Chain A
Amino acid sequence: MIFGAILAGGTGSRMNIADMPKQFLPLGDKPIILHTLEKFLLCDRMDRVYVGVHPDWVGHMQDLLERQVPQRERVTLVPGGGDRNSTIFNIVNQIEADWGESDDHLIITHDAVRPFVTLRILEENIEAARAFGACDTVVSAVDTIVVSENGETISQIPDRRLMYQGQTPQSFRISLLKKLYQSLDEEEKAILTDACKICVVRQTPVRLVEGDVSNLKITTVGDYKIAQAMVGGQVVD
């Protein structure tokens, strides 16, 4: 089976423009997270969509589902964990409690605050996860990437042609992701910034899926204003 996993565990501390987590802010005519969820629900290959929400906001999300999402029977809410990967594994545990373990289960993990994801990106993630076990959505780096180890001077300038910027979805065969994660010690787990790194630290290949510059992550006030302008809505702050 194919499972969407929308990650909305954060509380939006980088935004500071509203009391509510950024994924619940309005974009056009509805909250950001509903745009993202609707895109997943419209992907007919997605059997179920799990949404990891910060425990304080599960009730709010439940209300939104009941009021605005006719296909809510395909949606399951899961309380988020302390960080990104623990939210993912809360969802994995819930999936396996609901549907059992299987080598055929795929999980398409995605940031709730990337509502501009396209059906093409979702479909290509499904294909790549099925064929290769793990994939990451990326776009070629447009700007030169500069490495600075002390924050004051340049340590190195890598070849831009080899540089990509990571987006989401990141998608996996669930059995592979679990096996790799369980093999990590606590120190290794502590340096993980995203789920693909679980594979990279264990030298497991992660296939690249071409993302889209429009698939932006709404993290700052500036991003939010850009997203509002993209859909022609009013800026609310």
Chain B
Amino acid sequence: MINHIYQLASPGVFSIEYASTDLADKVILRPRFMALCHADQRYFLGQRSQDVLRKKLPMALIHECCGRVLQDPTGTFAPGARVVAIPNSPQSPDPIISENYRRDSRFLSSGYDGFMREYVDLPADRLVPCDGVPDHIAAITEFVSVTVQAARRFDRLAHARRNRVGIWGDGSMAFVLACTLRFLFPQIELHVVGKNARKLSMFSFVGATHFADDLPQGFSVDHAFECAGGEGSYYAIDDIIRTIEPQGAVILLGVSENKVAVNTRDVLEKGLTLAGSSRSGREDFVEAIRLMGDPAVQNRLNRIISIDDPVCQMEDIQRVFRTDLNTPFKTVFEWRM
């Protein structure tokens, strides 16, 4: 069968690749709802280095989607089953290193075609059932699973005094991480540090929110998550190192194109643990679906999802990328290509 793959050919320009594919041993998924990520937007806007763009394009974008199974020769899923797709694709087993950190793992929409296709063929273990989660929310499961991965890294690394935990950042990642931590560690008092009053006002379910340039006298946290990314990474990490209690764990999630200077003197003096957290694996997806089944979590996630009009033709792909530039949090859309 001939699959239509909608690829970004160069920044702002999409083209179609027609691929004759063999259906023999793969599960075939029809994508239904997709969500945009900053990483997609950076490709679309040409904000990656020329070298990266040359190497990776043309490539189908989008690594967040849910859909329904059209056929499954393995018998794992019934036709019509609602599932979310895992973009990480490990190439070999490893009992020590998680699938999302392995050197040979592939990530769809980073060097390999993402989900902007007529249908997606994946091994059965790259799909997770999402019953009980509405389509437009299930579309952001990958995003939620990244925060689950961060929460699990935190749980493994952070010492037992977990009274106050800080989240630096007021964007989508910070918001979803706050939802996840609130669900998994309800006893922790969460403090969100950001810059934008309108965005911070959305965090109604956390202990407190603070402006980064107006932290209360003597403000401190036991552990911290950095979700600022970009130019904000430096300031967020610097604030964290200054305000965190000794031997705290710092989980870094924000992506920065440039290298960030770190105040290592205070990292050493306080005996801090700095850990990176990126992407996610199957276990994180399964846990993400579990917590997204909770009505309170769904309610909160709903607040940050903007549903754009369906994508039915090539021009609509351009439209959702432009819409996303003007929405404060997550842009989700129905895929009808």
**A interface with B by C-beta (< 8 Å):** 27-30, 34-35, 38-39, 41-44, 70-71, 115-116, 118-120, 123, 210, 214, 230-233
Is the pair B20, A233 in contact by a Cβ cutoff of 8 Å?
Answer: yes
Q: Is the CB of B119 within 8 A of A29?
A: no
Question: What are 18 of the A-B contact pairs (CB < 8 Å)?
Answer: A29-B20, A34-B1, A35-B1, A35-B20, A38-B23, A42-B23, A42-B28, A42-B70, A42-B119, A70-B24, A116-B2, A118-B337, A120-B312, A120-B336, A210-B313, A231-B2, A231-B20, A233-B20
Give min CB distance, A168 to chain B, whole Å: 16
- Is B18 an interface residue, CB under 8 A from the partner? yes
Task: Give Cα A34 to B20, complex, Å.
Answer: 11
CB distance from B69 to the nearest CB of A (A): 9
Does A214 contact B16, Cβ atoms closer than 8 Å?
A: yes
- Residues of A close to B313: CB separation below 8 A: 210
Interface residues of B in 294-309 (CB under 8 A from A): none
Which residues of chain B are near A118, meaning CB under 8 Å?
Answer: 4, 118, 337
Name which residue of chain B comes closest to A28, CB basis: B20
Known: A44-B70, A231-B18. A119 touches B1 (CB 8 A): no
Interface presence of B261 (CB below 8 A) = no
Docked Cα-Cα span, A232 to B2, in Å, equals: 11
Q: Number of contacting residues on B, CB 8 A?
A: 24
Q: Please, how many angstroms separate the alpha-carbon atoms of A38 and B19 in the complex?
A: 14
B19 near A231 (CB under 8 angstroms)? yes
A214 to B23, CA, bound (A): 21
Q: Which residues of B contact A120 (CB under 8 A)?
A: 118, 312, 336-337
Complex interface: chain B residues within 8 A of A233 (CB): 20
Complex-state Cα separation, A123 to B80, whole angstroms:
15
B1, B23, B336 interface centre (most CB from chain A within 10 Å): B1
CB distance from A79 to the nearest CB of B (A): 25
CB-CB nearest in chain B for A42: B70
CB distance from B294 to the nearest CB of A (A): 30
CB contacts (< 8 Å) of B337 on chain A: these are 118, 120
Contact A115 B2, beta carbon cutoff 8 Å: yes
Residue B22 lies at the interface, judged by CB distance under 8 Å to chain A = yes
The minimal Cβ–Cβ distance linking A111 to chain B, given in whole angstroms, is 14
A126 to chain B, nearest CB (A): 13
User: How far does the Cβ of B6 sit from chain A's closest Cβ, in whole Å?
Assistant: 11
CB pair A35 B79 closer than 8 Å: no
